[in-house]
């Protein structure tokens, strides 16, 4: 009986150390290679912000290899990318209420599906998966739109999400030889 109590106590201590020391350390280490970034924009009084981790290309083939086609991607590294709006806006023609959403994508050669989800999980991929299975709960999707992708002439080293405005506001996602523009309006 004493042995069982000691074993349980040791296991609890080990679990506590891993949870409170090990996991935060590992998360901090991954951010050295994929630093956190934030882009903001004011759209007629609506404050927009996107928060993401920015991995580097490092000579790798990105889309179709590191990021597989036709599979949900956490759209960055580490925690899921978040998109916040202070007021209702439109993504193409679909209303998105004020709030914070996780942002997921399904890259393809010709187009991408861009997904706004009500839940923001603590990490972007499942620990039990092979690094490509996401923690997204599809039943919590609020918007799923398809936008064309296009090639850029020079490879982009770091994954970047930004707001661009040329007669139309876009949420622009770019990396390697690909750029995707998601129309936003109020």
- Whether residue 60 is predicted with pLDDT greater than 60 in this model: the reply is yes
User: Please, is 11 exposed, middle or buried when counting C-beta atoms within 10 Å of its C-beta (0-12, 13-18, 19+)?
Assistant: exposed
139 and 88 in one domain? yes
52-91 burial: b if 16+ Cβ within 10 Å, else e:
bbbbebeeeebbeebbeeeebbbbbbbbbbbbebeeebeb
Q: What residues make up the domain containing 104?
A: 35-185
At residue 22, the pLDDT reads 55
Q: Is residue 76 within 8 Å of residue 34, measured between CB atoms?
A: yes
125 and 166 in one domain? yes
40 and 27 in one domain? no
- Whether residue 84 is predicted with pLDDT greater than 80 in this model: the reply is yes
131 and 83 in one domain? yes
At residue 4, the pLDDT reads 73
- Whether residue 5 is predicted with pLDDT greater than 80 in this model: the reply is no
How many separate domains does the chain show?
Answer: 2
135 and 90 in one domain? yes
163 and 97 in one domain? yes
Looking at every residue in the chain, the average pLDDT score rounds to 86
Q: pTM value?
A: 0.79
Tens of pLDDT, residues 16-46: 666 666 555 555 555 556 789 999 999 999 9
45 and 20 in one domain? no
Tens of pLDDT, residues 85-144: 999 999 999 999 999 999 999 999 999 999 999 988 765 554 545 555 667 788 999 999
């Amino acid at each position: 009986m004493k042995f069982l109590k000691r074993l349980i106590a040791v296991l609890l201590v080990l679990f506590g150390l891993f949870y409170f020391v090990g996991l935060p350390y590992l998360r901090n280490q991954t951010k050295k290679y994929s630093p956190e970034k934030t882009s903001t924009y004011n759209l007629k009084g609506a404050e927009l912000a996107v928060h993401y981790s920015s991995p580097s290309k490092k000579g790798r083939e990105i889309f179709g290899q590191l990021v597989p086609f036709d599979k949900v991607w956490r759209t960055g590294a580490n925690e899921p990318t978040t998109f916040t709006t202070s007021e209702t806006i439109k993504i193409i023609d679909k209303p998105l209420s004020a709030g914070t959403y996780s942002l997921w994508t399904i890259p393809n050669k010709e187009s991408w599906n861009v997904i706004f989800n009500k839940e923001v999980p603590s990490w972007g991929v499942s620990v039990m998966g092979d690094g490509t299975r996401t923690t997204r709960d599809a039943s919590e999707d609020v918007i799923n739109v398809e936008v064309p992708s296009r090639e850029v002439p020079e490879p982009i080293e770091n994954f970047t999400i930004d707001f661009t405005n040329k007669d139309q506001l876009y949420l622009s996602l770019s990396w390697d030889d690909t750029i995707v523009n998601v129309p936003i309006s109020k």
